[in-house]
Amino acid sequence: MPATLSIQECTAPINAQLALVKASIKNIVPPESRWLAEALGHSLGGEGKLLRPVLTLLMAKGLGLLEGTHDTSVIETASVAEMIHVATLLHDDVLDDADLRRGRETVRAIWGNSVSILTGDYLLAQASLKLSQIGNIRLVAIYSHVLSHLCDGEVEQLRTSYQLSVDWDSYLRKSIGKTASLFSAACESAGVLAASYADLTEDDIQRLASYGKNFGIAFQIIDDLLDYTATEAELGKPVLGDLRSGLLNAPVLLALGSNRLDDTAKAGLRAEIEGLFTTAQAAQAAAAKADDESSGATVALDAQVAHHIAAIQNYLTQAQALDATLALANDYAQCALAGLAPLAPGPAKEALEGLVHLALTRKK
Ligand code: FPP
Ligand code: MG
């Protein structure tokens, strides 16, 4: 694993271009509707890490693209990746009934679900406009595929939620669709832009894309881990949210497949998950009906949810599932690093290595 770099050190080689990306996103054609303009300003005004544009810019830098006059298309392509990301969050918060994102009120909490969806749609429209202005048809195809994968991953998650039959294939399909496809595109797009100017083969471009894809899977697996290990303050949202909302994430899937649990323990774990899913759904329904969150039925169901969660956590400890989750994320991280082979040694490549390390060690 590479030496630890801070996020500031990782972005240092492309700070100037990152400022241009922020300006480009801020300068998208403003909507005429005041609500839409306010919601757009709110959704773009948070403390986002801009990880996807950072990937595009560092790849571009590593490929020598930021030295000359080709900056504009790289900046605009990096902006598209962030705009699509923010659009998915605006839609996702509606699907998840989420009131908080990165510690701030969501657009849906302030303006309602319809405005949140339409703000996301507006961002997608503006991202398409940017792509059309860049004029590289392959980039249009790459980002169109990403949008398809995002929808596919999200629907796969819907299909499998509150189900015990989730397997790794489904988990990976969901994770690649929801997270890794956009990381992959952010990297591949830099390769596509560089191919017009540099001696880069299709195989090289695909290796760069595989860095993004494997990084994205590792990132998602760490997200799953943080659902158990981080605090609500660190996450900016309630913890253990995956299980409560019916999702079998990586630690649970690893525990269910672990040879540290015998068949009886696995059956016990399954029964606890089933119990949690049933009570969590009942608790949500009761909370939605009750005027008062401290009503007797809600409190009793919340206590049962807490009981199931404690039992599941015990099984995860027995299975050493959190260690196994970190090890799995590390495997994907190693695959990501191998994808950097087409880049010459230098600050951009070191930063891309450093980002993988940061993703593995992040606390939120
Ligand atoms: C966050 O998931 C959600 C995503 C990374 C992708 C969401 C994708 C869609 C809603 C479908 C496609 C949308 C568009 C605009 C094409 P999470 O709920 O697991 O994570 P969170 O805790 O950050 O909300
Ligand atoms: Mg969500």
Q: What is the full DSSP assignment across 118-140?
A: HHHHHHHHHHHHHHHHHT-HHHH
Closest-CA residue, ligand 1 atom 3, reads 92
Q: Is 157 in the pocket of ligand 1 (CB under 6 A)?
A: no
- Residue 335 token pair: 């695959």
The CA-atom distances, in angstroms, between 153 and each of 148, 176, 200 are 9, 7, 31
Q: Is 71 in the pocket of ligand 1 (CB under 6 A)?
A: no
Rounded to 10 degrees, the C-alpha dihedral 325/215/335/21 comes to: -160
- Residue 191 token pair: 């390769």
Best mutation site among 43, 93, 119, 150 for ligand 1, i.e. most ligand atoms within 8 A of its Cβ? 150
Residue 133: CB atoms within 10 A of its CB come to 10
Q: Is 121 in the pocket of ligand 1 (CB under 6 A)?
A: no
- Helix ranges (H only) for the chain are 7-11, 15-26, 34-44, 51-62, 71-95, 107-111, 113-134, 137-160, 168-175, 181-195, 202-229, 232-235, 241-244, 250-256, 263-289, 296-318, 321-338, 347-361
Give the separation between CA 226 and CA 265, rounded to whole angstroms: 24
Closest-CA residue, ligand 1 atom 20, reads 92
Q: Name 181's Cβ contacts closer than 8 Å, sequence gap at least 6.
A: 145, 146, 149, 150, 153, 213, 216
pLDDT per position in the chain (364 positions), as tens?
A: 556 899 999 999 999 999 999 999 999 988 899 999 999 999 998 878 899 999 999 999 999 988 866 569 999 999 999 999 999 999 999 999 999 888 899 999 999 999 999 999 999 999 999 999 999 999 999 999 999 999 999 999 999 999 999 899 999 999 999 999 999 999 999 999 998 877 899 999 999 999 999 999 999 999 999 999 887 777 766 667 899 889 999 999 999 999 999 999 999 999 999 999 999 889 888 877 776 555 677 788 888 988 999 999 999 999 999 999 999 999 999 999 999 999 999 999 999 999 999 999 988 7
204 phi-psi bin (left φ>0, alpha ψ -120 to 50, beta other):
alpha
The CA-atom distances, in angstroms, between 258 and each of 205, 217, 316, 319 are 36, 20, 10, 6
Q: Is 356 in the pocket of ligand 1 (CB under 6 A)?
A: no
Q: Is 110 in the pocket of ligand 1 (CB under 6 A)?
A: no
Using the mean position of ligand 2's atoms as its centre, give its distance from the Cα of residue 92 in Å. 5
Q: Is 87 in the pocket of ligand 1 (CB under 6 A)?
A: yes
Give the separation between CA 43 and CA 121, rounded to whole angstroms: 13
Give the separation between CA 240 and CA 71, rounded to whole angstroms: 42
Q: Which of 83, 104, 70, 94 is nearest to 29 (CA)?
A: 83
pLDDT of residue 190: 97
Give the separation between CA 334 and CA 56, rounded to whole angstroms: 20
Q: 3-state DSSP call for residue 104?
A: strand
Q: 3-state DSSP call for residue 314?
A: helix
Q: Which of 83, 270, 247, 90 is nearest to 175 (CA)?
A: 247
pLDDT of residue 291: 61
